[in-house]
Amino acid sequence: MPALPPPIGSPGQPRQETLAVGSVLFRVHRDGFGATVPAPAIARGSSPDGSRFDSPDGSFAARYVAGDHQAALAESICRDLPITGAPRIIPRSRLTGRVLTRLVSTVPLTFVTAHGAALAHLGQDEWLTSCAPAGYPLTRQWAAAIRRWAPDADGIAYRCRHDADRTAYLLWTDPGAVRHPALDESWPVISLTERWASRSLAGSQNCTMPC
């Protein structure tokens, strides 16, 4: 598994994929925090805090969305859980104050493909998208490198750590942006109540809520 810093130049030709105008996406986020608002462009450096493809130096802001609500849950509620065959327990606190928002793309969005055979063109394998948070300082370096290698792309398309059949997306944008310009919120907004989340998480993520 290549848990190494990225090279200066791309090892191959990055593959790309496109979402058409009107594509439906989902995001789990804090209630009261706009679904199209990018996360703060914090220089994460060597800290494991934050998310997998955040900017290591604060040069871009990150917005994480998913192709369906199961993928959004996998990448937000379940992402730090161990990969194991046994049911994983999710604390109720992870659902408190969180909502699921449906989004619609207003322009075509192009992503560097970071899953399947396309990973080899980046000089990577599944480690890039499946490693635990301890690897985030390195995965962020790879995100910054991929952005340099594909400057016309809008972000990265990758498989969820806990559900490789589903796709998540990193959208990078200007660190001063107050909202992502290519996304509009689309109702309804769903509160992550325990009953709804338990039913959704028990399926593809093999997760359960405590008694």
- Does residue 11 belong to any structural domain of this protein? no
Torsion, Cα of 94, 105, 19, 22 (10° steps): 120
Mean pLDDT along residues 55-71: 89
pLDDT confidence of 174, banded at 50, 70, 90? confident
For residues 96 and 10, the answer to whether their CB atoms sit within 8 Å is: no
pLDDT of res. 211: 39
- Does residue 33 belong to any structural domain of this protein? yes
Residue 208 has pLDDT above 90, yes or no: no
Sequence length of the chain is: 211
Q: Which residues contact 134 (CB under 8 A, 6 or more apart)?
A: 48
- Does residue 7 belong to any structural domain of this protein? no
Q: Which domain holds residue 120?
A: 27-208
- Does residue 185 belong to any structural domain of this protein? yes
Q: How far apart are CA 89 and CA 130, in angstroms?
A: 19
The model's pTM: 0.84
Q: Report which listed range, 29-33, 88-92, 112-116, 206-210, is most confident.
A: 112-116
Mean pLDDT along residues 32-38: 70
Q: SS3 for the chain, per residue? A: CCCCCCCCCCCCCCCEEEECCCCEEEEEEECCCCCCCCCCCCCCCCCCCCCCCCCCCCCCEEEEEECCHHHHHHHHCCCCCCCCCCCEECCHHHCCCEEEEEEEECCCEEEEEECHHHHHHHCCCCHHHHCCHHHHHHHHHHHHHHHHHCCCCCEEEEEECCEEEEEEEEEEECCCCCCCCCEEEEEEEEECCHHHHHHHHHHHCCEECCC
- Does residue 9 belong to any structural domain of this protein? no
Choose between 83 and 178: higher pLDDT: 178
- Does residue 118 belong to any structural domain of this protein? yes
What average pLDDT is seen over the chain? 82
Q: Report which listed range, 14-18, 184-188, 207-211, is most confident.
A: 14-18
Q: How far apart are CA 183 and CA 125, in angstroms?
A: 30
- Does residue 132 belong to any structural domain of this protein? yes
- Does residue 195 belong to any structural domain of this protein? yes
Convert the pLDDT of each residue in 71-118 to its tens digit.
888 787 766 666 665 556 666 777 777 888 899 999 999 999 999 999
Convert the pLDDT of each residue in 141-173 to its tens digit.
999 999 999 999 999 999 988 788 899 999 998
Number of domains forming the structure of the chain: 1
